[in-house]
Structure formats: structure tokens, C-alpha cells
Amino acid sequence: MEQRKGRRLILFPLPLQGHINPMLELANILYFKGFSITIIHTNFNSLNPSTHPHFTFHSISENLSESEAAEKDLLLLLSHLNAKCCLPFRKCLATLVSDVSKEPVACLISDPVFDFTQSVAESLKIPRILLRTGGASFTAVLSAFPILQEKGYFPKQDSRLEEPVTEFLPLRVKDLPMINSSDPKRFFKLVHDLTYETKASYGFIFNTFEDLEQHALAKIRKELHIPIFAIGPFHKCVPVTTSTSSLISQDQSCISWLNTQPSKSVIYVSFGSIAAINEAQFLEIAWALANTKQRFLWVVRPGLVQGSEWLEPLPSGFLESLNGMGHIVKWAPQKEVLAHQAVGVFWTHNGWNSTLESICEGVPMICFPFSADQMVNARYVSDVWKIGLQLELGIQRGEIERAIRRLMMEKQGEEMRERLSKLKDKVNLCLRQGGSSYQSLNGLVNHILSLESFVYKNSKVSD
């Protein structure tokens, strides 16, 4: 823990699990660097302050209606959040900034998906830095969207899905980022806003490391002309804490179950906090897992299977027929699971956090991306870093069983483990004194402190 800096940082996470986790990890990192931390959070997916007693929490009442909060169209949900959070956020931030009883605010760190934070920060004369919770390779593709659109890659045509995207090899057309919505224009607006928001910020923080995404980071630096800080993997930067930012309670039974399994024998299956599948896909996964006769730990989040509460679609007797070879939970302590010696393969949707967590623990992946950045991440895992296999044909039990066999029992799996072991070494090196993330973090701290003159100027303005 470094000496206190007498400066406060205000962090504002987007209230989705994959965005909350890295923002709170970043908060921990900056707390250890000597800053005081204040988190502003929404009532929707509200955070539990008792899990991080060293931070100050302020909740805002954005008052989403019941139907808005239950919105399944992610882009529509984000649009409700943007519309309803702006005013309460402005009010909360104004109060915090003018509170002279506390340390002065050095800057706001927000999620670029919140499209109003730039104008609010500007009006209150607070410098704003962004946390990009996705990878750099994905971000580089987003910045090139105007060109990709001009070249006719969108809307994606079924006949062109396997075609290479020559500007971003080895991506294929099907890998280009997309979030389906009732109005396709919403996604292009989001991408446009993200790029604009980024350019208008005082810096951009990435949860990645140079050795993993050097090329994409260089590209972004060249294009954006704002300071870029690649300081990840966040969860490995600070001493392990027991604090969790999980919105769903983590079922610890999976750790005791894993404790009884042989080394590298278990397939861990989880598709993150948002992805959903239909009943037919759910059954196909269940049968594929059962047919391989391998041990598995499966996260079936309530809401994962459209139209079902939880496990009802499973045929009766299915669970009993596994004879203890499978364990199903609603939500797992994922980082702990991936670090467990019994886990041999991760079947993932390739959300950026899951991808990075798997890399850090040296676990090869079966990739089944659904949406947003996941297709880009999956292609990098399978074709660039060569540490996983993609299910190119969708959820089909034959292909799943083949992929599991190749990763669990064949040479291909071993080769991936060797590559992962080298990447793991690089993770350790980048975080050590003199390593790229270590230096970039110090650069970020100095950058935040250099914004002081800006704050000072502001206090003169508001005096």
C-alpha cells in the first residue's frame, strides 16, 4: 500500500457484471496506489458497499420502471440507462465535487458506454478518464467502423459470413462486433458515441497487457492521440482480496466439488452474465457434456435458457445419470474456479473478462461467442494466440464432443497449454517492477496527479 495521496477519484461503473468487475478491480488498484475512492452506482444492479468498506459509495436513483429494468434488448436497456441516469448523476457528482470537507477530486473515471458523462464532467470542470472494459483488439475494430461500413461489411450478409475482413485479418465477417436489437441503428449509434466519447477524454485505461495486444494498442495510440494506459490484467495487479463485486451470490459448493476431482479433469462451462440460449441449445450442451463422459462444472445462470427458470428443460433422471461427474450451479466464483488445479478446459462465450481470466490461469478455451466483442475475442483466442478452439458450426453435440476431446486428450490441447504457460509468464513479467503494466500504472498515477493544475484552475473558476 502506497502513501495516501490526499486526492479522491470518483468511479462510475456501467451496471452490468462484465463492466462492474473491472471497474472495482481498477478502484482497488488505485486505492493501493494511495487514492481515496468514491463509487457512484445506480439503483439498477446496485452494489453492496459492505463488500468494499475502504471505498465510499453513493447510489443514484435513476428510477427505471419495472419493464425498463427487465428489458432483454441490451441496447434498449442501455438507452434507458443513459436517458435516466444523466440528471441524478450530475446532481451527485456536483455535490461530491463541492464537498470541501473531503479530499479534492482529481478526476472522474467512467465507462464510455455512459454517453453523458463527458458533458457532465465538462460542465463541472472535472477531468474524465475512461475505462474500456473490452480488449484493445476489439476497440481497434470499433474505431475503424466508419471504414468497415463504407466497405459494405454491414449489414452482415449470410453469404459473406466466412469471408476474411482484409483490414483486420484473421477476422471473418461473422466475427465483426454486433449486438442485435429491435432497431439495428442503435448499435451503430453506440459505436459512434463510444468513439466520440473516447476522443473527448483525458485518457483511456485498458484491462490488457502489451505482450498480448501490442499491435492493437499501437494502432489505437496512433489514431486516438490521447494517453493510453494498458495496466492489466487488473485482477492480478493487487494482492488477492476476498471482496467480490458479484451481483449474484457465488455458489462455493463448486470449490468443494472441484477439490475432489483429479488434476485438469474438469470442463468448466460458463457463458457470462448476459448471453442467453434456447431450450434446444441447452439440451444439446447437456447431452454433449454427458456423452463425453468427462467431468464438468456448468454455470446455468437463471435466465440463461430463454423461457425457463433454471434446469426444468433437462430430461428427468439426467442429473442422476451423471453419477457425480457433473456439477451445476447458478453462479460460480469464476476466478477461483479457473485457478483450481482440477480445471482443464474452459468452455466460454469469450467475454473479455472471462478470456483474460482464463489466460491468466493457463486454461485453454472452447470458444462459443454470442455478441458484441466476444466474436473478436474468440477469433484472437483461436487463430492469433492459438490457445483455444472455436465451435464454428454452432452448438452441435458432435462438434462439441470433438472439441472437448481435442483439448482434454490430444496433442493440440497440450500445445495450447504450453503457449498459455508462456503467456502466463508474460503476465507475471508485465506486472513486476519495470514490466509494461507496472510502468503504465505508474504513468497513469502521474497522469492523474498532473490533472491537478486542471482541478486547481477549476476551483478558481467556481470560487
Q: Report the interface residues with ligand UDP, using CB under 6 A.
A: 17-18, 21, 246, 270, 272-274, 299, 331-332, 334-335, 351-354, 357
Q: How far is the CB of 378 from ligand UDP (least distance, A)?
A: 12
Nearer to ligand UDP by C-beta: 82 or 250?
Answer: 250
Min dist. Cβ of residue 246 to ligand UDP (A) = 5
Grid cell for residue 15: 451496471
Nearer to ligand UDP, 211 or 251 (CB): 251
Q: Which is nearer to ligand UDP, 107 or 304 (CB)?
A: 304
Q: Kindly state the smallest distance separating residue 241's Cβ from ligand UDP, in Å.
A: 14
Give least dist CB 237 to ligand UDP, A: 15
Match 462459443 to its residue by C-alpha cell.
368
Greatest C-alpha distance within the chain:
72
Provide the minimum distance between the beta carbon of 445 and ligand UDP in the complex, in angstroms, as a whole number.
Answer: 24
Strands annotated E in 351-454: 365-367, 388-390
Nearer to ligand UDP (CB atom), residue 391 or residue 448: 391
Over the range 320-342, which residues count as b (16 or more CB within 10 Å of their CB) and which as e? eebeebbbbbbbbbbbbbbebeb
Nearer to ligand UDP, 168 or 271 (CB): 271
Q: Quote the least distance from Cβ 93 to ligand UDP, whole Å.
A: 25
Buried b (16+ CB within 10 A) or exposed e, 239-278: eeeeeebbbeebbeebbebbeebeeebbbbbbbbbbbbbe
Cell 507475471 appears where? 428
Taking the complex as a whole, how short is the minimal distance between the CB of residue 317 and ligand UDP, in angstroms? 26
Q: Which residues in 356-390 are b (16+ Cβ under 10 Å) and which e?
A: bbbbbbbbbbbbbbbbbbbbbbbbbbbeebebbbb
Q: What does the alpha-carbon distance between residue 265 and residue 272 come to, in Å, rounded to a whole number?
A: 22
Which residues, 6+ apart, have CB-to-CB distance to 201 below 8 Å? 112, 118, 128, 129, 130, 226
Q: Is 274:73 a contact under the CB 8 Å cutoff?
A: no
Q: Closer to ligand UDP at the Cβ: 118 or 353?
A: 353
Residue nearest to ligand UDP (CB): 18
Return the bridge partners of 389, or none: 366
Q: Is the CB of 113 or the CB of 416 nearer to ligand UDP?
A: 113
What are the cell numbers at 258? 472441484
Q: How far is the CB of 178 from ligand UDP (least distance, A)?
A: 14
Tell me the closest approach of the beta carbon of residue 376 to ligand UDP, in angstroms.
Answer: 13
If the CB atoms of residues 13 and 18 are measured against ligand UDP, the closer one turns out to be: 18
**220 with 143: CB under 8 angstroms?**
yes
150 φ/ψ angles, rounded to the nearest 5 degrees: -60, -35
Nearer to ligand UDP, 270 or 292 (CB): 270
Distance of CA 263 to the CA centre of its chain: 28
What is the enclosing helix (H) or strand (E) of 225?
none
